[in-house]
Amino acid sequence: MSQFVQAMNDLDFEALEHLLHPEYVGEYPQSRERFRGFASFRAQLEQYPGGAPAGGANTETTMMLGDEERWVVTPGYTVLPLAGPDRYTAVLRTRYPDDSVWHIITIVELLDGLIHRSTTYFGPEFERPEWRAGLTELY
């Protein structure tokens, strides 16, 4: 999984093609988009307005979940597996071409040792609301 994160950060399409299963399906739930196969995956990166954000991810602070099973409960009380024998989750922070900072969570399912499915969530970084200033600490 760390190879995938590094290849994405480098926009290394040759490496990415070797990591993705021939029947790869990627989903962006927030926009309800689904793309199939490497060609579609590559095209959406190449056609990103202003160019895909190469080198923007802080790979040193990227958190990889996958060594042991982990689960999460969604706000709708659905239980989702985050990590297991054939499932990994990457949590990272990246800077986009417009200089905004976003947090990305990608849940990856493997088949035959290759990335078969991925579900990716994107969220912009934002300032702490003033009303929480006395309740939380910044890190």
pTM of the model: 0.77
**DSSP letters of 113-136?**
TEEEEEEEEEEE--PPPGGGTTT-
- E strands in the chain: 20-28, 33-36, 63-65, 70-73, 79-83, 87-95, 101-111, 114-124
- Residue 48 has what pLDDT? 86
CATH class of 2-126: alpha beta
The domain ranges of the chain are 2-126
Q: How far is 82 from 94, CA to CA, in rounded Å?
A: 21
Q: How far is 68 from 27, CA to CA, in rounded Å?
A: 24
Res 57 pLDDT > 80: no
- Residue 27 has what pLDDT? 96
Higher pLDDT, 87 or 62: 87
Q: Most distant CA pair in the chain: distance in Å?
A: 51
